[in-house]
Amino acid sequence: MYEWFFLILTISTSQAQQQVTVDAKQQMSLLLKTSDTDRDRKITVLDRNTIFWLEDNEKKKREVSGAYHLSNLLQELKLASDAGKNQILAERIFENPVTRISRSIRELYWDGLTRRVDAENLAQALPDSKLPKSEWRYVYVPAADTMAVDYFTKAASATPSLKIKVVPLEKGKEISSNHGLLTLALEKDKEGRIRGVPFVVPGGRFNEMYGWDSYFEALGLIVDERRDLARAMVNNFVYQIENYGKILNANRSYYLNRSQPPFLTSMISAVYASGGESKPWLEKSLRAAMKEYFEVWMNPDRLTETGLSRYFGSGKSIPPEVEKGHFDYILKPAARKHKVSVAELTRRYNAGLLEDPELDEFFSQDRAVRESGHDTTYRWRVDGKDRAADFVTVDLNSLLYKFEVDFARFIQREFNDQFSYEGRKMTSAEWRERAEKRKAAMLKFLWDPERQIFFDYNFKRGQRSKYVSATAFYPLWAGEILDKIAGQASIAALLKELEEPGGIASTARTSLEQVGRGQHLRQWDHPNGWAPHQMIAWEAIKNYGQVQTADRLIYKWIYTITRNAANFNGTVPEKTDVVLRSHRVFAEYGNVGTEFSYITKEGFGWMNASYQVGLKLLTPKWRKDLEDLRPPEWIEFK
Dist. CA 245–CA 288, nearest whole Å: 10
Q: Is 39 helix (H, G, I), strand (E, B) or coil?
A: coil
Cα separation, 396 vs 393, in Å, equals 6
Which residue among 574, 577, 588, 602 is the active-site one? 574
What local confidence, expressed as pLDDT, does residue 6 receive?
Answer: 33
Q: pLDDT tens-digit profile of 451-507?
A: 999 999 999 999 999 999 999 999 999 999 999 999 999 999 999 999 999 999 999
Closest by Cα among 123, 117, 122, 157 to 239: 117
Q: Looking at residue 634, what is its pLDDT?
A: 85
- Predicted local distance difference test score (pLDDT) of residue 519: 65
Strand partners, 295: none
> Which band of pLDDT confidence, cut at 50, 70 and 90, is reported for residue 136?
very high
86: number of CA atoms within 13 Å, CB side?
8
Query: Which band of pLDDT confidence, cut at 50, 70 and 90, is reported for residue 211?
Result: very high
The whole-chain average pLDDT of the chain stands at 94
Q: How does residue 7 score in pLDDT terms, banded at 50, 70 and 90?
A: very low
439 vs 433: CA distance, rounded Å: 10
Across the range 391-401, mean pLDDT stands at 98
Beta-ladder partners of 137:
164
Averaged pLDDT, 347-375? 95
For residue 423, pLDDT beyond 70: yes
d(CA 407, CA 247): 18
Task: Tell me whether residue 574 is one of the annotated catalytic residues.
Answer: yes
pLDDT level of residue 13 (50, 70, 90 thresholds): very low
Q: What is the pLDDT of residue 610?
A: 98
Average pLDDT over residues 435-460: 98
Q: What is the pLDDT of residue 356?
A: 96
At residue 515, the pLDDT reads: 85
Write the DSSP symbol of residue 322: S
Segment 314-333 mean pLDDT: 90
Least confident range from 193-202, 350-359, 496-505: namely: 350-359
What angle in degrees, to the nearest 10, is found between the helix axes of 227-244 and 279-292?
Answer: 40
- pLDDT value at 600 more than 90: yes
Task: Give 535-551 as a DSSP string.
Answer: HHHHHHHHHTT-HHHHH
pTM: predicted TM-score of the whole model, two decimal places = 0.96
Helix axes 328-338, 342-350, angle to 10 degrees: 90
Asked if pLDDT for residue 100 goes beyond 50, the answer is: yes
- Percent of the chain whose predicted confidence (pLDDT) is above 70: 97
Banded pLDDT at 8 (limits 50, 70, 90) = very low
- pLDDT at 10 exceeding the cut of 90: no
Q: Residue 316: which pLDDT band, with cuts at 50, 70 and 90? A: confident
Measured distance CA(612)–CA(216) in Å, rounded:
11
Q: Residue 586: pLDDT above 90?
A: no
Per-residue pLDDT averaged across 426-430, rounded? 97
- Is the predicted pLDDT of residue 539 greater than 70, yes or no? yes
pLDDT of residue 14: 47
Predicted confidence (pLDDT) per residue in 231-261, tens digit: 999 999 999 999 999 999 999 999 999 999 9
| Per-residue pLDDT band at 50 (split at 50, 70, 90) | confident
Helix (H, G, I), strand (E, B) or coil at 339: coil
pLDDT exceeds cutoff 70 at 512: yes
Q: Is the pLDDT of residue 115 over 80?
A: yes
- The pLDDT of residue 588: 80
SS (H, E, C) 396-435: HHHHHHHHHHHHHHHHHHCCCCCEEECCEEECHHHHHHHH
pLDDT value at position 3? 34
The CA-CA-CA angle for residues 126, 101, 74, to 5°, reads: 80
Alpha helices in 326-374 (DSSP H): 328-338, 342-350, 357-371
Question: Which of 76, 208, 321, 375 is flagged as catalytic?
Answer: 375
- Residue 517 pLDDT grade (very low, low, confident, very high; cuts 50, 70, 90): low
d(CA 438, CA 398): 9
> What's the confidence (pLDDT) of residue 324?
82
- Residue 71: HSE in the Cβ half-sphere, 13 Å Cα cutoff: 29
Q: Is the per-residue pLDDT at 1 higher than 50? A: no
Tell me the C-alpha to C-alpha distance, in Å, between residue 360 and each of 200, 314, 363: 34, 11, 5
Q: How confident is the model at residue 571 (pLDDT cuts 50, 70, 90)?
A: very high
